[in-house]
C-alpha cells in the first residue's frame, strides 16, 4: 500500500470533514426530534459521506467499541445513542459555521456529493444484482470512496484547493496529488477506513477504485463492485469509455451493458428525488470534485474589511452560542461516564485535537488521577499526580487555573509524569486545561497533541478554556445532583425502616396466632384423614411470610442461603397448596412433566417458592376462562459452563403485552392494572439472580407465554 507522508498524516488526523449543509441541517433537526427513530437517523446519515465517516469513526473508537466491529450506520447509531448523537450533531453544525466564518469553507460540494451518492446507490444495486451478502456495506464503500478528498481539503486546505483548481477530473487530480503531495485521495480515504479496524475489504475498495481495469478483474468482490459503480458514474456521458467500462464490468461481475443502463437509470432517478427533497438544485453537476464557490482573493479581501472590534464581538457571540448549545445537550446526559465521553468527542470535533483524556481530583487523597474513567489509555488509568508535588504542568494548570503546555518551555525541562502522559496519549507534547468552577477545582483536560496541532490550537486557546469551564460545570452539576439523590434516598430509607419496624411488629402477632391455631388443629385431626402434609406446608408458608415481613426492616440484600433443595419436591408441595386456588378452581388444567432424580439446586427453597407463586399467579390471572399450564423440569443443562436444572412454566393465555415485553422484569407503573403492584416479574428476576440463575421469556404464537429458568446445581452434586 502507498505510504502517506508524515506531514499529510499530521494534517488529516483531526478528521475535519465538511458536510453538505442541507444534510447537516436535516441531521440536526432529526436528532432534536424525540420521535425520530435510529432507522430514520441512519437514512439521513447515509446521505452524506462525511457524516457517515464521522459516525463510524466515533462508534469504532476505544471508548465506545466493546469488541464487535461496527461497519453499518444502524449499528453505529445504536452504539452512540440518541443523547450522544444530539451532541455530535450540535458540534458538527458549530464546527461547520466556525469553519465558514474562518474562511475554510470556500468550496461547492454539490458535484462531489452527487457523485458520492450515485456511486453508493450504484454499488448497492450492483451488490444486490450479483448476490453480494451485504449490500449496505457496498453502499457505504461507494458513498465514501472519495472521502480522502474531503480529508485532504480539511487538512491541507489551500494547497489542496490549488490542486482541485488545476484538475478537470479525478484522473488528473490523482496524478497531481501524487506529484505534489506524495499520496492520493484513495490512499488517504483507505487510511481513514483502516482506523476503524474492520474485518472487511472496505478500505481496499476505497484504495483500489482508480486501479487499471486489468488489475481490478482479479480483486475481491467488494473492490470490483465499487470500481464498477465508480466507472459507471464517471463514464455516463462518454460513449467510448462507457463501452470499455461496460466490457470490464461484464468480465468482472457478469453484468451486461443493458443491465448496467437499467441500474444507472434507477439510481439516477432515486438521487434526483433525494436532491429535490433536500432542496439541492442539481446532482448532475459536471465536475465531481469539490469546486471553488468564491475566489480566494475576493474572500480574503472581505475578511480584511472587517474591523478588529467586530471580529472580537463576532468571536464572543460565536463562542457563547457554542457553549450554550453544548451545555443544553450535556444536561440531558445521565451519567458522568456519558458526560466525559460527550466532552471528549465534542473537543475532538471543535478543536481538531488528537487524543484527549481527563484527570480528576481525588479529594480524599489530594491527587490527580485518571482512574475509573471510560476510554482512558491504560497508563493514565494508573497515573496519579500529587497536588503538592509542584512539578507536573497538570498541577500548575489546575492550581493557577490557566492552560499549560510542554510546548511553552524547553522539552528537556518537562517533568517525567508529563512525559509519561504524553507517551500515553501518543503526542509530541501535552496541553493541560484546568477544569474549574467558581468554587471548586475538578481536574484537568489533557490533550496529547503534535506541534502542528498545538499551533492550530494556540489562537483558539480562550475557546478551549471556555469549553473546559463548561465541562467542569457539567461534571460538578451532575455530581451535585447525584449527592442530592443519595441524601434523599438516605432520608427515605430511614423513614421506610421506621415504618417497616412498626409493620413487622403489628403483623407478627396475627401470624403467630395463626401458627398456634394450626398446631392445635394438627393435634385434633386424626392422621388417617391425610391432611397432615397440607397442614405442615401451611405452617411452612406462614413461616415464609413471617420471614418476608421481617426482612422489611433490613433494606440491605438478604444473605444467600448456602443450602440446597429439590426442585421437583418444591413444585409438588406448591401444587398441593395452591393447585386448587390457582388452577383447578379456575378451570385450568395442569400438565406436569418433571424429570425424575434431578440433582439438588443451590440456594434457599423459599426464594424458589416465591418465584413459582408469582409465575403461577400471573398465569392464572391471564386465563380467567380456563386454559392450560405446563410445568416441566430437565437436568443435564449448562449455565455458563456450570451444571444446571431447567424449569419451564408456560400457559395457553394471550401472552404478555408488547409494553410488558419491552420492559420485561422491570417494575411497571402501579396504576397500569388496578389492584396490582406491577412488580411481580421484577421480584421473580431478582430472586432468580439471587439463586445465581437466569430467566427468559418468550411469547408463543397462539400458545401464551413461556418462562424458562436455569438454576445452578449445588456444588458437589453430580449431574444425573
Domain boundaries, the chain: 15-296, 308-482, 491-553, 564-712
Residue 564's SS3 state is strand
What is the CATH class of 308-482?
alpha beta
| Contact by Cβ (8 Å): 9, 266 | no
Q: Cβ-count burial of 157 within 10 angstroms (0-12 exposed, 13-18 middle, 19+ buried)?
A: middle
Say how many CA atoms lie within 13 Å of 590 toward its Cβ. 21
Rounded to an integer, what distance in angstroms lies between the CA atom of residue 626 and that of residue 623?
5
239, pLDDT greater than 60: no
pLDDT digits (tens, 9 = 90+) for 567-594: 999 999 889 888 888 898 889 999 999 9
pLDDT in tens, 77-113: 888 887 777 777 766 665 665 555 444 445 677 788 8
Q: Which residue has the higher pLDDT, 676 or 398?
A: 398
pTM for this structure?
A: 0.54
* CB count in 10 Å sphere of residue 365: 11
Q: What is the mean pLDDT of residues 636-665?
A: 87
Please give the grid coordinates belonging to residue 214. 486489468
Banded pLDDT at 413 (limits 50, 70, 90): low
Range from 45-59, 501-515, 645-659 carrying the lowest mean pLDDT: 501-515
Sequence-distant (6+) residues with CB within 8 A of 530 are: none
Mean pLDDT to the nearest integer, 340-368: 85
Q: Which residue has the cell 457554542?
A: 322
Cα 358 from Cα 375, distance rounded (Å): 10
Residue of higher predicted confidence among 295 and 330: 330
Whether 630 shows a pLDDT value over 90: the answer reads yes
Q: What is the mean pLDDT of residues 114-142?
A: 90
Helices (H), 525-562: 532-550
Can you say how many angstroms the Cα of residue 389 is from the centroid of all Cα atoms in its chain?
39
**Phi, psi dihedrals of residue 291, rounded to the nearest 5°:** -125, 150
Mean pLDDT of 611-620: 89
pLDDT-derived band at 494 (thresholds 50, 70, 90) equals confident
pLDDT at 307: 39
Radius of gyration of the chain (CA): 33
622 vs 506, residue with greater confidence: 622
d(CA 341, CA 331): 13
| Low-confidence winner among 44-48, 139-143, 668-672 (lowest mean pLDDT) | 668-672
Find the farthest-apart pair of alpha carbons in the chain and give their distance in angstroms, rounded.
Answer: 111
Stated as kind and residue range, the H or E segment containing 43 is helix 38-45
At 275-309, the pLDDT tens digits run 777 666 655 556 677 775 544 443 443 433 333 43
Q: Which residue has the higher pLDDT, 214 or 673?
A: 214
Q: How far is the C-alpha of 191 from the C-alpha of 230, rounded, in Å?
A: 19
Question: pLDDT tier at 180 (50, 70, 90 boundaries)?
Answer: confident
Got the DSSP string for 282-332?
Answer: -S--S--S-EESS-HHHHHHHHHTS-HHHHHHHHHHHHHHHHHHHHHHHTT
Q: Does domain 15-296 have CATH number 1.10.3210.10?
A: yes
Helix (H) or strand (E) holding 707: strand 704-712
Class of domain 564-712: alpha beta
CA nearest neighbour of 644 among 595, 572, 606, 609 = 595
Q: 72-81, pLDDT tens digit by residue?
A: 888 888 888 8
pLDDT at 313 > cutoff 50: no
pLDDT, mean of residues 8-27: 73
Task: Answer whether residue 513 shows pLDDT above 80.
Answer: no
Q: Average pLDDT, whole number, for the chain?
A: 79
Is 413 exposed, middle or buried (CB count within 10 Å of its CB: 0-12, 13-18, 19+)?
exposed
- Asked if residue 100 lies in contact with residue 314, where contact means CB atoms within 8 angstroms, the answer is no
What is the structure's pLDDT at 671?
55
What is the C-alpha to C-alpha distance for residues 500 and 367, in angstroms, rounded to an integer? 43
Amino acid at each position: 500500500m502507498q505510504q502517506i507522508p508524515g506531514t499529510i498524516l499530521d494534517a488529516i488526523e483531526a478528521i475535519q470533514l465538511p458536510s453538505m449543509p442541507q444534510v447537516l441541517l436535516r441531521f440536526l433537526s432529526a436528532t432534536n426530534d424525540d420521535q425520530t427513530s435510529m432507522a430514520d437517523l441512519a437514512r439521513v446519515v447515509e446521505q452524506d459521506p462525511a457524516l457517515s465517516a464521522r459516525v463510524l469513526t466515533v462508534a469504532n473508537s476505544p471508548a465506545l467499541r466493546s469488541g464487535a466491529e461496527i461497519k453499518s450506520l444502524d449499528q453505529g447509531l445504536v452504539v452512540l445513542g440518541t443523547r450522544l448523537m444530539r451532541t455530535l450533531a450540535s458540534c458538527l453544525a458549530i464546527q461547520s459555521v466556525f469553519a465558514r466564518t474562518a474562511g475554510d469553507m470556500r468550496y461547492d460540494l454539490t458535484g462531489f456529493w452527487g457523485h458520492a451518492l450515485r456511486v453508493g446507490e450504484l454499488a448497492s444495486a450492483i451488490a444486490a444484482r450479483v448476490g453480494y451478502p451485504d449490500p449496505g456495506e457496498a453502499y457505504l464503500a461507494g458513498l465514501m470512496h472519495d472521502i480522502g478528498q474531503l480529508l485532504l481539503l480539511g487538512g491541507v486546505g489551500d494547497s489542496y484547493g490549488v490542486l482541485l483548481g488545476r484538475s478537470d477530473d479525478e484522473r488528473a487530480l490523482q496524478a497531481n496529488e501524487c506529484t505534489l503531495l506524495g499520496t492520493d485521495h484513495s490512499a488517504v480515504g483507505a487510511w481513514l477506513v483502516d482506523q476503524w479496524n474492520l474485518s472487511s475489504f472496505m478500505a481496499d475498495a476505497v484504495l483500489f477504485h482508480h486501479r487499471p481495469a486489468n488489475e481490478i478483474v482479479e480483486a475481491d468482490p467488494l473492490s470490483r463492485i465499487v470500481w464498477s459503480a465508480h466507472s459507471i458514474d464517471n463514464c455516463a456521458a462518454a460513449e467510448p469509455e462507457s463501452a470499455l467500462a461496460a466490457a470490464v464490468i461484464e468480465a468482472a461481475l457478469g453484468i451486461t451493458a443493458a443491465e448496467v443502463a437499467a441500474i444507472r437509470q434507477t439510481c439516477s432517478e432515486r438521487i434526483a428525488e433525494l436532491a429535490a427533497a433536500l432542496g439541492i438544485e442539481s446532482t448532475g453537476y459536471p465536475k465531481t470534485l469539490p469546486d471553488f464557490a468564491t475566489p480566494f482573493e475576493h474572500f480574503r479581501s472581505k475578511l480584511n474589511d472587517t474591523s478588529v472590534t467586530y471580529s472580537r464581538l463576532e468571536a464572543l457571540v460565536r463562542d457563547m452560542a457554542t457553549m450554550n448549545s453544548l451545555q443544553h445537550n450535556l444536561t440531558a446526559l445521565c451519567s458522568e461516564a456519558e458526560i466525559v465521553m460527550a466532552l471528549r468527542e465534542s473537543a475532538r470535533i471543535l478543536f481538531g485535537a488528537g487524543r484527549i483524556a481527563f484527570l480528576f481530583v481525588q479529594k480524599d487523597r489530594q491527587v490527580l488521577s485518571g482512574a475509573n474513567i471510560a476510554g482512558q489509555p491504560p497508563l493514565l488509568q494508573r497515573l496519579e499526580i500529587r497536588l503538592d508535588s509542584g512539578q507536573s504542568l497538570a498541577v500548575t494548570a489546575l492550581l493557577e487555573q490557566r492552560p499549560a503546555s510542554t510546548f511553552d518551555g524547553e522539552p528537556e525541562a518537562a517533568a517525567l509524569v508529563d512525559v509519561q502522559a504524553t507517551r500515553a496519549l501518543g503526542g509530541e507534547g501535552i496541553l493541560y486545561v484546568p477544569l474549574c468552577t467558581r468554587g471548586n477545582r475538578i481536574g484537568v483536560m489533557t490533550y496529547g497533541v503534535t506541534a502542528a496541532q498545538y499551533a492550530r490550537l494556540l489562537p483558539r486557546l480562550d475557546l478551549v478554556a471556555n469549553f473546559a469551564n463548561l465541562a467542569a460545570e457539567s461534571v460538578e452539576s451532575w455530581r451535585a445532583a447525584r449527592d442530592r439523590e443519595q441524601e434523599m434516598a438516605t432520608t427515605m430509607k430511614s423513614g421506610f425502616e421506621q415504618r417497616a419496624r412498626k409493620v413487622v411488629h403489628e403483623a407478627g402477632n396475627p401470624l403467630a396466632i395463626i401458627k398456634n391455631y394450626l398446631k392445635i388443629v394438627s393435634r385434633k385431626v386424626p392422621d388417617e384423614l391425610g391432611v397432615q402434609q397440607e397442614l405442615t406446608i401451611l405452617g411452612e408458608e406462614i413461616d415464609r411470610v413471617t420471614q418476608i415481613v421481617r426482612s422489611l426492616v433490613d433494606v440491605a440484600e438478604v444473605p444467600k442461603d448456602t443450602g440446597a433443595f429439590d426442585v421437583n419436591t418444591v413444585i409438588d408441595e406448591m401444587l398441593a397448596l395452591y393447585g386448587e386456588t390457582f388452577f383447578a378452581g379456575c378451570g385450568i388444567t395442569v400438565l406436569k412433566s418433571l424429570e425424575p432424580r434431578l440433582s439438588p439446586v443451590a440456594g434457599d427453597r423459599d426464594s424458589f417458592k416465591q418465584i413459582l407463586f408469582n409465575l403461577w399467579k400471573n398465569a392464572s390471572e391471564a386465563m380467567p376462562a380456563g386454559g392450560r399450564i405446563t410445568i416441566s423440569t430437565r437436568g443435564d443443562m449448562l449455565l455458563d459452563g456450570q451444571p444446571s436444572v431447567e424449569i419451564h412454566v408456560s400457559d395457553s393465555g394471550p401472552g404478555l403485552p408488547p409494553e410488558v415485553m419491552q420492559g420485561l422484569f422491570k417494575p411497571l407503573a402501579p396504576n397500569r392494572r388496578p389492584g396490582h403492584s406491577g412488580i411481580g416479574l421484577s421480584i421473580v428476576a431478582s430472586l432468580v439472580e439471587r439463586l445465581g440463575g437466569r430467566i427468559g421469556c418468550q411469547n408463543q404464537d397462539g400458545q401464551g407465554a413461556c418462562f424458562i429458568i436455569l438454576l445452578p446445581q449445588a456444588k458437589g452434586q453430580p449431574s444425573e
